[in-house]
A and B are shown apart, each in its own frame.
Chain A
Amino acid sequence: MTGLIKGCALALAATICIAGGANAQDCPVKLGAILPVSGPMGQVGERISNTGAFAVKLFNEAGGVKGCPVEYVLRDTQGQSAIGVDAAKSLVDLEGVAALIGAVSSGVSLPVLTSVAVPSKVVQVSCCSSSESFTALAEEGKTEGYWFRTYATNRSQSAMGAKLAIDSGFKKTAVIYVNTDFGVGLAKRFEDDIAKLGGTITSSVAYNESQQSYRAEVTKALEGEPDSLFLVAFPVDGATITREWLALGGTDNLIVNNSLRSDDYIQAVGAQYLTNLVGYDSAQPRVASVDTFNELFEAEFDGPPDGPGLHSVFDAVNVVLLAMEQSDEITGDNIREGIRAVTADGGTEVYPGVEGIQRAKELIAAGEAIRYVGATGALQFDANGDVQAPKMTWKLDGETNVETGYMSTEEVAELIKMLDAN
């Protein structure tokens, strides 16, 4: 029984301890990142992380936050929720970060948000989590405004997939989708959307990630003689499925989601088999800020910023750092307000890159309102912390992917409105 008494005494002592002063404002200012740089999402996560670090580097070249250099502190989630939660808590408590970038998958972002970010009053900005659960949680007031994402929600993705299918003249579409919150939500919406536009679905088949073969799923999807396939997948598994689909006699009329606009996927399948492929992706608005980012990225990484999450993580980092610059004191609450302030309508527009950030800092120092227009264009966070983004469509020309169409934020909103109204 002495063990019990000791345990209670320890717990009591811990309970009495009072949460004292917040983290002190010392140099460097730390920005936490929780991203899956190893594990099944490692390939995607590593590029996202490097782009985030690049945004920090540019910000530092422009003078950092409040004269302090910014330190980018990365913790690997390994794609596991318990590891991600611990990493986030350690960043908040031991490193004293007031804002977190991440995570990639919603299954990690959500536990981090509910058990670390919101209770600790730390802002969390995800580049990539697409689950509808975040919107639901925000509507219930449970995110307390600490949650933002620079990644457009699924809603527009299914609309784009359906529009592509109809515009290409397909009548009977099979769907193979990844069995995650992302894939399930998208596939479900797609069924509704394509029906409203006059198409039909022959079958809708979920696949689980990281399998050696998807023969069973592909065989099932081939039933009903579809004239096209809508594939919602990530590059590695997506390539396996596409190869098996073509090998088993499936049509090469492919419609693919945003994640497959990736050289990994195209090279793994072979561009010569993908001549009839069409895809969509979040597009950058036709504003100069996007070209600025693309040029900066190309100069740094020796290749175009193709792939999921790169533009959105760049903007996630920038809005957080600008919000810090805007704040009197760097706290989660101030950043939460600051993010809205630096993206609000009516401010002087500022752009990415060293000069753009320097200009932003000058304006903030002069007490003027700014509006950050970045790699994903002008971000407009709604009450739930969500954004919409313009879309583009693409196909392959030889080995390279070329754009075939562009829809602005307004046009995307109109398409969704039309689909939801019917």
Chain B
Amino acid sequence: MIGVLSYLIFFLILALTFGIAVMGLNLQWGFTGLFNAGVAGFLAVGGYTHAILTGPARDAVFGGFELPFIVGLLGAMVAAGVVAIIVGLVTLRLRDEYLAVATFGIAVSIQLVAVNWEYMTGGTLGLIGIPNPSKVLADGPLRQNAIYLALVVGVTLLAYIGLQRIVQSPWGRVLKAIREDEVAASSLGKNPTRVRLEAFTLGCSLMGLSGALYVGFIGFVGATDFLPIITFQIWTMLIVGGSGNMKGAILGAMIVWGVWTGSGFAISKVVAPEWQAQSGALQAVLIGLILVLTLLMRPKGMIGEDVTVSRHATDL
């Protein structure tokens, strides 16, 4: 059953990579109440930054600095964070659906920039030959992927532990205060605009990290890698897993990516090839169904929000 193990490793790499972006979104939506509909754009910023920093030099294309993998990851976080600050300064005074529309527009703009700015992104040809560090450490796809999985697991744990500490800190409680009642929070002397910007930036830099891990694994980045539908996928993962809970974010990524890929597998097993065009639509319906069922039956997701907001609260 080497095949099953090999596929499982591959599956986990992608699911956890998405999970990191879901945690970033969770910080924004689950804790702070920011409706970021531009997830795909920040994934793209991270992915392209990683490719430019670590990829091989190309004629007529900027970048190809061949820097170490870790520099690519950190650079991706910084780049996505910087874009988030710029976007945030412009849009964060907007609320709810207005913010959603603005961020969605920004994601589409980023994708169009990726398609059209050939000097930076390789345009529609994309950037090829992005090195995957596991390739030099081991032979054979199974070992290589296992090493990459270990790396993704490590990054996920770091992000998880870091975020848990942050959201349990006084700053984390301010996030929730802003989410629940912004006026009340500011009457307590907190600066909601600033805190919202901080949460937005941190969340987006995690999305950038996720994009970088994806590109580092695939070895290629192209303009069609970060279509707006990815935003929908990440959001579904958060809602199904449980917004306001970091464990829920990771679980949601596993479940939704599992259903998405598992339904494709099941359809190819059950449905004859000539009918698959019709059943492809069924797959989209299935995801929608899970989302609606979650909202109806478990509105807080698989794992709901922790009621305790401070780790000192239990000491009492």
Question: Which A residues form the contact surface with B (CB < 8 A)?
Answer: 3-4, 7-8, 10-12, 14-15, 17-21, 23, 33, 37-39, 42, 45-46, 49-50, 53, 72-76, 78-83, 85-87, 89-90, 92-94, 96, 105-108, 110-111, 114-115, 119-120, 131-133, 136-137, 140, 142, 179-185, 206, 208
Contacts and interface: CB of A to CB of B under 8 A. Distances in A.
Contacts of B160: 3
B307 interface: no
B125 A132 contact: yes
Contacts of A72: 273
A50 to B, nearest CB: 6
Nearest to A1: B161
A136 B126 CA distance: 12
B112 interface: yes
A234 B281 CA distance: 21
Nearest to A184: B124
Interface of B: 2-7, 9-11, 14, 112, 115-116, 118, 123-126, 128-129, 135, 138, 140-147, 149-150, 153-154, 157, 160-161, 214, 217-220, 222-225, 227, 229-230, 260-261, 264-265, 267-268, 273-274, 276-277, 279-281, 283-284
29 contacts: A3-B161, A4-B157, A7-B157, A8-B150, A10-B153, A11-B149, A18-B143, A19-B141, A20-B2, A39-B280, A42-B277, A46-B277, A73-B268, A76-B267, A76-B276, A76-B283, A81-B218, A83-B260, A85-B218, A93-B4, A93-B6, A93-B10, A110-B126, A111-B222, A114-B218, A119-B145, A179-B124, A181-B126, A185-B125
Contacts of A73: 268
Contacts of A136: 128
A85 B224 CA distance: 13
A26 B220 CA distance: 34
10 pairs of A and B residues whose beta carbons are closest in the complex: A38-B280, A11-B150, A107-B224, A93-B7, A119-B141, A114-B219, A74-B273, A14-B146, A181-B124, A19-B142
B225 A111 contact: yes
Contact of B11 (A80, A86, A105): A86
Contact of B222 (A87, A110, A185): A110
A233 B276 CA distance: 26
Nearest to B127: A133
A90 B8 CA distance: 9
Contacts of B143: 15, 17-19
A108 B224 contact: yes
Please indicate which of the listed interface residues A15, A17, A39, A132 has the most CB atoms of chain B within 10 Å of its own CB: A15
A180 B115 CA distance: 8
Given A17-B5, A19-B143, A94-B4, A179 B265 contact: no
